[in-house]
Structure 1
């Protein structure tokens, strides 16, 4: 085996690709996970990890840490500790391996100071920032990773915003409570907005709401009216299951009788498929 091939094998151990999936090591602590595209240096186990769909991290990219660049996006933190009996790598060896891997992926070293190094790596839809921090001369190291991206808004209205709308107009229209096609089954992605509706009702114990379902004009009017009522009833049942007194709620189905947008377009039909909370 020639030297070039040996170096390639060593590099593959820490390089990442868009399709690679990180293997779970039996030594890793429970409920920890590795980044799906950035593998560990051989001989380490995961002591702690965290993953957020959206977070921010200030990278040590400047001489003054307080001036470091803060990046936002999908965030990972992984804390690695050397396994017992395994040869301890040096700080330089750890950082250089990651640096070589990132450079092969088109990335670059932003800054290195002692045991901390920051890298920027291009991605198809943006860029990835990585910080490696080595402790105890290579016995332990940590990765902070941010895939830079804007936050995906998951809550259409907060409880406070809904309260303000109801106070001003007597109702609020919600498009974020969604259902299976042609059914009254609430989809899981509605949970965040429904939680805000629960907060709205718990914050104002005197508030009573009529939950009114609306559809687009696809299908016949009778079916749409029936479907909109069943969907409204599903929302009421959900709220009751979260501790809201049934006497504060009622349901109604408006079908396609009250459009707020043009049913001839996809965007218009999407706006017409809504749940309105009406004060009574």
Structure 2
């Protein structure tokens, strides 16, 4: 059996940053949520979704015919969704990718796959690091979308381009 399939612990941190200016509501993490101990959230953001269960996670590990070639890893998955508190200062998709790549490289990790952001596409990166006797896989997948912004006193809306992102995915093999 493939050693990746034998992975005991898989952590999927599918984090997303949405800068919706009308979201000036409580900017606190949702109840019982927490950051991953290996990688912290991007500054000035809060957790709006937290889920943890056993699942299969797909990691891009190369390209085939111009498309990402993916490898499935099974294990415990954690999904985190973050929203940025300050729309004017939200990071770009490339900034998010580089931030997590540098964090993983700083603890001995390596970049396995990278697709840089381009118009309408936030890019993607897969990284891997050995820690605590386990091989940890990490995926960051920013997305680009439009978020509404109130533009006039009459209450009409304009659409604004914002970034949403999905950072780390990790899997450990002993």
**Into which bin does the TM-score normalised by the smaller protein fall?**
0.5 to 0.7
- Check whether the contact 1:57–1:72 (CA below 8 A) recurs between aligned residues: yes
For normalisation by structure 2, the TM-score amounts to: 0.61
Q: Distance in 2 between matches of 1:144 and 1:51?
A: 14
Structure having the larger proportion of residues in helix: 1
Find the residue that maps to 1:120 and give its secondary structure.
strand
Cα distance change on mapping 1:143 and 1:97 into 2, 3 Å: closer
- CA-based RMSD: 2.6
- Check whether the contact 1:119–1:129 (CA below 8 A) recurs between aligned residues: yes
4+ residue runs over 6 A deviation: none
Structure having the larger proportion of residues in strand: 2
* Structure number with higher relative contact order (C-alpha < 8 Å, ≥ 6 residues apart): 2
Q: Distance in 2 between matches of 1:93 and 1:81?
A: 16
- Check whether the contact 1:76–1:144 (CA below 8 A) recurs between aligned residues: no
Q: Report deviation, 1:29.
A: 2.7
Q: Distance in 2 between matches of 1:85 and 1:59?
A: 29
Cα distance change on mapping 1:80 and 1:91 into 2, 3 Å: same
Q: What runs of 5+ residues in structure 2 fail to find an aligned partner?
A: 1-25, 117-122, 145-160
Greater alpha carbon shift after TM alignment, 90-99 vs 57-66: 57-66
- Check whether the contact 2:111–2:127 (CA below 8 A) recurs between aligned residues: yes
Map 1:52-201 onto structure 2 (within 5 A).
52=53, 54-64=54-64, 67-114=69-116, 115-136=123-144, 139-149=163-173
| Equivalent residue, structure 2, for 1:37 | 38
- Check whether the contact 2:139–2:170 (CA below 8 A) recurs between aligned residues: no
Cα distance change on mapping 1:44 and 1:104 into 2, 3 Å: same
